[in-house]
């Protein structure tokens, strides 16, 4: 009886080689991750301290304390105190507004499970934009500059320019109806037609209540025109009384 030897096919050899290469690439990263996990579990500490001003040792409230390259950290309280869980070897950054940030590496020589420090921060130099002050040599130069000063246009100037009293009076006399008045008039007509359907519509010329309402509206319209005329006259008097010469006499009255 003859024995037959079995040999692996070329495809199976390629798959086996690919599997070994993949395993060789993944194994180091898995071992490093296990080492980090073991290290972090064995060297977790409670990191506490106070952030102070390096010049006078006063606490810096609400300073930011963050671990670099990690989304972990805290904010100091009103007295500059902070406390959170950290790992030996972490790089901690301290920062606050107006002071230069500082970094600290938690040493690996800590024997206890707690570590406290006092972190002084130095004031940062803030560069401001240049400000140039131009003095006026004489009072006459200042008066000339004040008269020729072009002030920015305000809302009052826009209203005064667009406020045409003649146009307002003309529109008030014509009594043009807006969209709301047209809608109410149409609805009133339709309501009247439905109310007096198959009936004789009464004549309002003989209705004393209608005449009383007409007279009342006419008097109200007349009073409104009188008030508008008084406002127009007051506005014209105000425009005539305002001038630059009056402001000059007030500012430079000797």
Among 77, 53, 47, 84, which Cα is nearest to 63's?
A: 77
- The per-residue pLDDT for range 175-208, each reduced to its tens digit, is 666 678 788 888 888 888 888 787 777 777 777 7
Which residues sit opposite 78 in a β-bridge?
Answer: none
Q: Report the alpha-carbon distance of residue 107 to residue 224 in Å, rounded.
A: 87
Instruction: List the chain domain ranges.
Output: 42-124, 154-203+218-239
- The per-residue pLDDT for range 67-99, each reduced to its tens digit, is 998 888 999 999 999 999 999 989 999 999 989
Instruction: Count how many Cα atoms sit within 13 Å of the Cα of residue 40 in the half-sphere of its side chain.
Output: 9
**Residues 77 and 93 sit within 8 Å (Cβ to Cβ):** no
pTM of the model as a whole: 0.38
Q: What pLDDT does 93 receive?
A: 95
Q: How many CB atoms lie within 10 A of CB 47?
A: 24
Q: Which CATH fold topology does 42-124 show?
A: Immunoglobulin-like (2.60.40)
Print burial letters for 144-174: b (CB count within 10 Å at least 16), e (below 16): eeeeeeeeeeeeeeeeeeeeeeeeeeeeeee
């Amino acid at each position: 009886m003859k024995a037959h030897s079995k040999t692996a096919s070329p495809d199976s050899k390629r798959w086996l080689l690919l599997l070994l290469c993949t395993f060789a690439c993944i194994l180091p990263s898995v071992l490093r991750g296990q080492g980090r996990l073991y290290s972090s579990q064995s060297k977790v500490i409670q990191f506490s301290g106070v952030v102070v001003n390096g010049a006078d040792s006063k606490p810096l409230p609400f300073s930011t304390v963050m671990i670099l390259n990690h989304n972990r950290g805290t904010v100091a309280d009103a007295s500059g105190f902070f406390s959170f869980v950290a790992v030996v070897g972490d790089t901690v950054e301290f920062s606050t507004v107006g002071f230069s940030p500082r970094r600290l590496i938690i040493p690996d020589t800590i024997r206890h499970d707690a570590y406290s420090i006092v972190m002084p921060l130095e004031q940062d130099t803030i560069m401001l934009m240049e400000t140039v002050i131009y003095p006026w040599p004489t009072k006459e130069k200042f008066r000339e500059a004040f008269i020729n000063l072009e002030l920015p246009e305000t809302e009052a100037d826009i209203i005064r320019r667009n406020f045409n009293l003649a146009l307002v009076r003309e529109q008030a006399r014509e009594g043009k109806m807006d969209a709301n008045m047209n809608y109410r008039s149409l609805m009133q007509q339709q309501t009247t037609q439905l109310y007096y359907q198959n009936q004789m519509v009464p004549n309002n010329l003989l209705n004393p209540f209608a005449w009383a309402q007409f007279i009342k509206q006419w008097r109200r319209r007349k009073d409104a025109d009188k008030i508008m005329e008084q406002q127009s006259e007051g506005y014209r008097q105000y425009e005539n009384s305002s001038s630059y010469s009056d402001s000059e006499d007030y500012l430079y009255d000797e």
